[in-house]
Amino acid sequence: MARPQRYSTKPSSSRQATATRPLVICCIISVLLLTFYIREGEVGPVHAIRSVVTVVATPMRMVGSAVTGPFRAVGNVFSNLAAPQETLADLKQENEDLRAKVSELSESKSASSRLEALLNLKSAYNLQSTGAHVIGGSSDAWSQVVTIDKGTSDGLAINMPVVNAAGVIGQIVETSLNSSTVRLLADEKSGTSAMVQATRAQGMLHGQADGTLRLEYISVDSEVKAGDIVVTSGIGGVFPKGLPLGTVTSAEKAPNAVFYDIVVRPASSTQSNEEILVITSLAEGQAASDDDVALADTSPQGEGRGQDSSGGSSKGADPKSGDGGSGGKNKKE
């Protein structure tokens, strides 16, 4: 009977040893190079070889990245197209949520800045005031008014001045239990005692039908020029003295005229009225002194000039319109 043929495993073991030998040699060389690299410090032959290899390999890597970049982009597009619709919907919703969050944070930051500016104004002028929000504007094209969210229940009353962070915006002319109407400076029925800050020349600031402001009764003997700041004079005891009203944009002298023709740009924009302060009372020293009143009465620019719209008559004001406090009204809700 023939014996079964047997095969030796020695040649196979020999081939395995031969295959692993280069791997072992590479590991040994790597360990030796790493050791030399560490021991030679910052300068040495291994560092030099490494630098040469880096210089040579970098352009190749850049070329490879440039070649493979478009393929990766195409792959990402196909990957997104192949993604489940649920995943895409979730990502879209997450993106919308993040956008809404960013918008919310931006609005909060803007509101914080406006409130900080209001507090700075209140502190700088020592204003006795209460805060409010603008909740509505003019309902017709013939008046410049806004509605605020506080009224008689909050201690507000007719003729109280209203300011924002930039300066005076107007005066309360109508109140109800929970809201009030503020007539803006640009309304043609508005009139406020004012003075040029630099020269102390005093006059009346009136709104015009075209929405501009005119500073009237300033004598041509005074010096007024574009860029001058106009502030409240405090005469009449309604507005604190020195609050910003606007800036002179033009001051013209007509031939043989007694007074300047002065146009004033308001200090505050009607579009920026969101948070405001209502001045509820004047602190000591905020009203015009007796000397200020006497000077205004005797100075040329004071001739024919009234007081604040709450204190008396003024040229161009309709006594039945609400100027002088006679036209303001309270209404119950």
Residue 252 lies in a domain: yes
Compute, in degrees rounded to 10, the torsion defined by CA atoms 259, 260, 265, 268.
-30
How many structural domains compose the chain? 1
Does 64 fall in a domain?
no
Place of tokens 């000077």: 295
pLDDT (0 to 100) of residue 147: 93
How much is the pLDDT for 75?
67
Nearest to 202 by CA among 301, 315, 291: 301
In a domain, 319, yes or no: yes
Instruction: Tell me the pLDDT tens digit for each residue of 300-311.
Output: 444 433 444 444
Select from 188, 186, 184 the least CA-distant residue to 173.
184
Domain-located, residue 317? yes
Q: pLDDT value at position 280?
A: 92
What is the per-residue pLDDT for 270? 63
Q: Do the domain assignments include residue 81? A: no
∠ at Cα 158 (153, 163), nearest 5°? 90
- Residue 55's Cβ-side half-sphere holds a number of Cα atoms within 13 Å equal to 6
Local confidence pLDDT in tens for the 333 residues of the chain:
555 555 555 555 566 666 677 778 888 877 777 776 676 666 677 667 777 777 766 777 777 777 777 767 766 766 666 666 677 777 788 888 888 888 888 777 777 777 888 888 888 888 899 999 999 887 677 788 999 999 999 999 999 999 998 899 999 999 999 999 999 999 989 999 999 999 999 999 999 888 789 999 999 998 999 999 999 998 888 899 999 999 999 999 988 889 999 999 998 876 667 889 999 998 887 777 766 666 666 554 444 334 444 443 333 334 333 344 334 555 444
Whether residue 87 is contained in a domain is answered as no
Enter the DSSP assignment of 259. B
Query: Sign of dihedral through CA atoms 224, 226, 227, 231?
Result: positive
Residue 42 lies in a domain: no
Q: Using CB atoms within 10 A of its CB, is residue 198 exposed (0-12), middle (13-18) or buried (19+)?
A: middle
End-to-end Cα separation, the chain, in angstroms: 124
* CATH number, position 167: 2.40.10.340
Domain with 163, as residue range(s), is 125-330
Give domain status of residue 141, yes or no. yes
pLDDT value for 228: 95
